Structure 1
Amino acid sequence: MHYGCRRPAVWKRTCSWSSSAAASSLPPTTTTAANNNKKKVIVISGPTGAGKTRLSLDLAKRLSGEIISADSVQLYRGLDVGSAKPSPSDRSAVPHHLIDILHASHDYSAGDFFRDARAATDRLLSRGRAPILAGGTGLYLRWYIYGKPNVPQSSIHVASAVWSELAGFRENGRWEEAVELVANAGDPKARELSVNNWSRLKRSLEIIRSSGSPPSAFTLPYNAYNQTTDDEDAHAIANCQPKELDYDFICIFLACPRVELYRSIDLRCEEMLADTGGLLSEASWLLDIGLSPGMNSATCAIGYRQAMEYLLRCRNNGGSSSPQEFFEFLIKFQTASRNFSKRQMTWFRNERIYQWVDASQPFDEIARFICDAYHDSGPRLLPESLEMKRESCRHESRDLKTYRSENKVFRGDDDCSHVLDWIRRTQGKSQL
C-alpha cells in the first residue's frame, strides 16, 4: 500500500519551506522556542484514495491518539460506503470523532466543523491524547487551522427571511435566477459558486442582509496569515509568525502521480457499485426519505449525487435500466471523482503549511517520520526520499491527455447484470 504526493521541505513549526538549504541557514532555536508552549496536532490530508485512513489509524496506534474526521460526508449516518468510512473494526480499535453525527437531511458548514473539531481537539489534549485530523475537505481544514473568518452571525430572523426568499427558487430548481438575486443584492462572486450549492448561496445572502456587505468584505485569517509569504521566498517564510496559530500543527499532504491516483479512484468507484448493498442502496435510501440530488450537502456529495440521478431515471422508467445506461452512470461517477481529486490537489498546492509526502514510498517510513516530528521539538526535516514536489503534479499533462479508464470489475454487459436485477426489484413504481 502506498500513499500520496511529495513536497520539498524543512518545517518551521507552522511554516512550510521551499528547500532544506534555505531552512538550514536558520539557527535550530528558531523552530523550538515558538513551539514549546503549544500542543501538537497532526493533520493528514490528500486527494480521494491517497491512503489517509490507513495512515491516520497507524499513527493513532503509535502515538496513543484519536482521529477527528475532516470529511464532509462521513458526518452523515447511513452514508458509509460512498464516503469510505473507516470500518467498524477500525473505529473500535481507535476512537473516531465527527463521524455519524448528523441525519442526511441536515446541512453542516465549515463554521460548524471549526466549532466541533476544535472542541474535540481540546478534549483530547486535556486527556493526554494525540489529536489526528484526517480528511480531504479543504475548507474545513483551512478554517480549523487558521480560524474562522471575521463574518457576522445572522440572527434567527434574518436566517428565516433569507430561507423564505430562496425557497421558491430552490423548490423549482431555478438556480440561475437565485444566483442573480444574490449577485444583484451585492455579491457578484455568487456567480462563481458550483451549481446548486444552496448552502453557500444562502449564507452569502444572510451576510449581505445582516451587514450590508458581501462575504468578500470580511477578513479571512488564512489570507492574513499567508499574504506576506511566497512559496519561493525563504526569507518571507522564515519570518512568518507561528504564534498566530493556536496549535503546533504537523500537516501532511499525501500525494501520488495523477495517473496512478486516477486508476485507484476508478477501481474504487467500481467496487462501491459492485455490491448493490453499497453506494446504490445508500442513494436509494436518500431518495426514499424525500431528498433530491443536489438538495443539500449530503446529496451534493460525489457518488451520491450521480447515483441518485441514475436511480431517479430508473424509477421514472418503471425500475429498469439498460447496460448502456449503467455504464454511462459509471463513467459520470468516475469522472466526477477524478475531477474532485484534481480540485483537491489544486487547493492544497496553495496551502503552504503542508508538507507534500510521496505516498508511493514505504508506508512505515512515512509513519516513522511523522512520529519523529511529533516527538521532536527541533527542525522537521523531511527526507528527500519522501518528498514530492508540488510542481511535479502539474507536469503530467501529457499522460493525463491520453488517460482512459480501464474497468476491472464492470468489463462488459454481463458484469452489471446483478445490478440491473437489483434495480428491477427495488426501483419499480412502488418506490415512486
Structure 2
Amino acid sequence: MIARMKLISPLSPYLQTISRHSRKSLATVSSLSYPGKQKVIVISGPTSVGKSHLALELAKRLNGEIICADSVTVYQGLDVGSAKPSLSERAEVPHHLLDILHPSEDYSAGDFYRDARAATELVLHKGRVPIVTGGTGLYLRWFLYGKPGVPKAKLDVVAAVWAEMEDFQRNGDWYEGVEHVVQAGDPSARTLPINDWYRLRRKLEIIRSAGAPPSAFPIPYDELRNQDPSTDLDVKHLDYDFICIFLSMPRVELYRSIDLRCEEMVRNPDGLLSEASWLLDMGLRPDMNSATRAIGYRQAMIYLSNCRESGGKSSAEELSGFLWTFQKASRNFAKRQIIWFRNEKTYMWVDASKNFDEIVEFACDCYHSNVSREVPKGLAISRESGGKEEYKLMKMYRTQNKYFVKPDDFDSIVDWIETTQGNCANLMKV
C-alpha cells in the first residue's frame, strides 16, 4: 500500500532583500506591467525543465505560496510519477491543489479554474504572493482568461447521460460511443483521445442540458484573439497583473533531462511501478480516467497488466521496452507543450539552461517592477523552433540511459515484478 500524505502546514518563509537585475542588454521579449492590480506569477514550461525549482525559490524570496497547475499532482498517492514536491519542500513553502482527489476521480479544466482562482484569492488575502506553476496548457489559459460559459449539468442530466453511455463504456465500444455523441450534435467528439469517457460524457451532458454542443458557447480566450488576430492579446482587461514566464531550453538538453527523470522514476521499485500497481489493485485500468491516462502511469499500467497476465513474468528486454515507450511519450508530451505555448503571447520565454540565480533575480525584478518587463538577452530563448540545426540534431537523437544500460541493470526490477505481480492475475478478472 502506498502512503498518501496530506498537505503539511508549512513554516512562513521570510521576505529577502531583492537585488535589482541589470537593465543592460535587454531582449525584445517583454510583458507590460499594470500598476494598481494585484500581481500573480505564472511559471510554465515543458516537463523536466525545472518549473518547480524556480517556483520554490521565488516563493522563499517573495513570501509566496505555490498553486500547482498540474493534472496529476492533484491525486493522492501519485507522487513519484507526477514528480510531486517533496514533504520537505511543502514544509518550506505552502502548496495548494496537491493531494485533493482520490485517483478514481476525474478532474477537469473547469475544476482547476474554480480551485485555482479560490486559492489565488486566499493567498492574496493573506498578503502573500500567488505563484501558479505547472505545464497543463489549458488549465493555465482558462486561469488567465476565464473559462467558457458552458452550463453545468443538473444531477438528473448527469445520471441520464451516464446510463446512456454505460453500455458503450462497459463493453469497450469507444468508437460507437463517439458516434453516438456525434449523432447527438457534437462532431468534435471524434477529436477526443481514445477512452476519454469523462469528456465524452461531458459533451453529451452539455447537449442534453443546453440543446447545443460546447462549441456554441463563447470562450474568453478566443474572443480576445478575435478582436485583432494580428496583435497580442489585450491583457490589460484581465483581473490581475499576471507575470508569466515560460521556461525552455535547447531541445537535446531538455530531452536528456526527460530521459533521466524517467529512469529515476522506474529504477526504484517503490516509485512509478509501485504506484501503477496500486492503481491496478483498485480495479482501475489504463485510459479509464484522468489519472490512468497520465503519461507514465498509462504506460506502467499497460506493462504491469501484461506482466500479471503472464504470472508475473518479465524480462530485461520487456522492461527496457516499457522504459523506452515511457521516455518517448514524455518527450512527445514536452514537444506538444512547447508548441502550445508558442501561441500564448502573454509569456516571456526564458532559457532554463542559463544561470539559475540570474533567472531567479530576473523573475524577482519582474515582480517588483512597475514598468515594461523584458527578458535580458543572456536569458532569452526563442519561442520559435531551432531551425535546420535543431532539426538535424533531433533526427540524430538517441536515448543514452544512465542507470539501465546492461541487461543485469534490470534484474532488481524484474525480480520485484515477479514477487509482487505474480499473484495478481485474478485481480484483473474481478
* SS of residue in 2 equivalent to 1:390: coil
CA distance in 2, matches of 1:97, 1:147: 20
Deviation at 1:229, TM superposition (A): 4.4
TM superposition shift of 1:195? 1.3
Aligned partners of 2:310, 2:374: CA distance in 1, in Å?
59
| Alignment correspondent of 1:398 | 392
Using the alignment, how far apart are the partners of 2:158 and 2:306 within structure 1? 34
Residues 241, 347 of structure 1: CA spacing in aligned structure 2 closer, same or farther, 3 A cutoff? Answer: closer
Name the residue aligned to 2:159: 160
Pairwise CA distance, 1:348: 0.6
Check 1:259–1:105 CA distance in 2 against 1; reply closer, same or farther (3 A cut).
Answer: same
Residue of structure 2 aligned with 1:10, choices 30, 53, 57 = 30
Task: Write the distance in 2 (CA, Å) between the matches of 1:279 and 1:252.
Answer: 29
- Taking a change above 3 Å as real, the CA distance of residues 294 and 212 of structure 1, as seen in their structure-2 partners, is same
Partner of 1:373: 366
Cα distance in 1, alignment partners of residues 373 and 339 from structure 2 = 24
Per the alignment, residue 402 of structure 2 pairs with: 408
Displacement, 1:243? Answer: 3.9
- 2:49 is matched by which residue type in structure 1? A
Cα shift at 1:258: 1.2
254-263 vs 271-280, greater mean Cα deviation: 254-263
| Distance in 1, Cα, partners of 2:128 & 2:386 | 35
Gap runs ≥5 in structure 1: 1-6, 14-34
TM-score by length of 2: 0.90
Instruction: Give 1:298's aligned residue.
Output: 291
Deviations 1:4-42 (A, max 9, x none): xxx9512124xxxxxxxxxxxxxxxxxxxxx22210000
The answer to whether the 8 Å contact 2:349/2:380 transfers is: yes
Q: Deviations over 1:363-420 (max 9, x none)?
A: 1111111111111111112111111111134652221122111111111210000001
Work out whether residues 8 and 387 of structure 1, in 8 Å CA contact, stay in contact via their aligned partners in 2.
no
Aligned position for 2:63: 64
Q: Does 1:330 align with 2:350?
A: no
Aligned to 1:316: 309
Contact map agreement 1:158 1:210 (CA 8 A) in 2: yes
Deviations 1:263-318 (A, max 9, x none): 11111111101000000000000001111111000000000010001000000000
SS in 2 for 1:429: coil
Q: How many Å apart are 1:167 and its aligned residue?
A: 1.7
User: Is structure 2 residue 133 aligned with structure 1 residue 134?
Assistant: yes
Q: Alpha-carbon deviation of 1:127?
A: 0.8
Change (3 A) 1:336 1:121: same
1:222-263 deviation per Cα after TM superposition (whole angstroms, max 9, x unaligned): 111222445xx5xx34xx543421110000000011111111
Segment drifting more, 195-204 vs 91-100 = 195-204
8 Å CA contact retained: 1:8, 1:388: no
Q: What does residue range 33-112 of structure 1 map to in structure 2 within 5 Å?
A: 35-112=34-111
Give the distance between the partners of 1:55 and 1:46, measured in 2 at CA.
11
Contact 2:28 2:374 in 1 (8 A): no
- Encode CA deviations 1:301-356: one digit per residue, 9 max, x unaligned: 00001000100000000011011111111111111111111110111111111111
Among 388, 411, 416, the alignment partner of 1:417 is 411
Q: Secondary structure at the match of 2:276?
A: helix
TM-score by length of 1: 0.90
Q: 1:55 deviation in Å?
A: 0.1
Aligned to 1:169: 168
Superposition RMSD in Å: 1.4
SS of 2:42's partner is: strand
Q: Is 1:116 aligned with 2:136?
A: no
Distance 2:247 2:407 in 1: 36
Query: Among residues 351, 355, 358, which one is paired with 2:348 in the alignment?
Result: 355
Name the SS of the counterpart of 2:341 in structure 1: helix
Distance 2:393 2:234 in 1: 40
1:280 equivalenced with 2:273 (yes/no):
yes
Alignment length (residue pairs) = 399
Q: How high is the sequence identity, in percent, across the aligned residues?
A: 60
Moved more, 321-330 or 299-308: 321-330
Higher relative contact order (CA 8 A, sep 6+): 1
Letter in 2 for 1:10: S
Flag structure 2 segments of 5+ consecutive residues without an equivalent: 1-26
Task: Assess if the C-alpha contact under 8 Å between 2:31 and 2:347 holds in 1.
Answer: no
Q: Which residue of the partner structure matches residue 269 of structure 1?
A: 262
- Does the residue aligned with 2:398 lie in a helix, a strand or coil? coil
SS of equivalent to 1:133: strand
Flag the 1:289–1:394 CA change in 2: closer, same or farther, 3 A.
farther
Q: Which runs of 4+ in 1 moved over 4 A?
A: none
Aligned residues of 1:76 and 1:101 also touching (Cα < 8 A): yes
Distance 1:318 1:349 in 2: 47
Instruction: Give the counterpart letter for 2:403 in structure 1.
Output: V
* Partners of 2:168 and 2:253 in 1: CA distance: 42
1:401 counterpart letter in structure 2: K
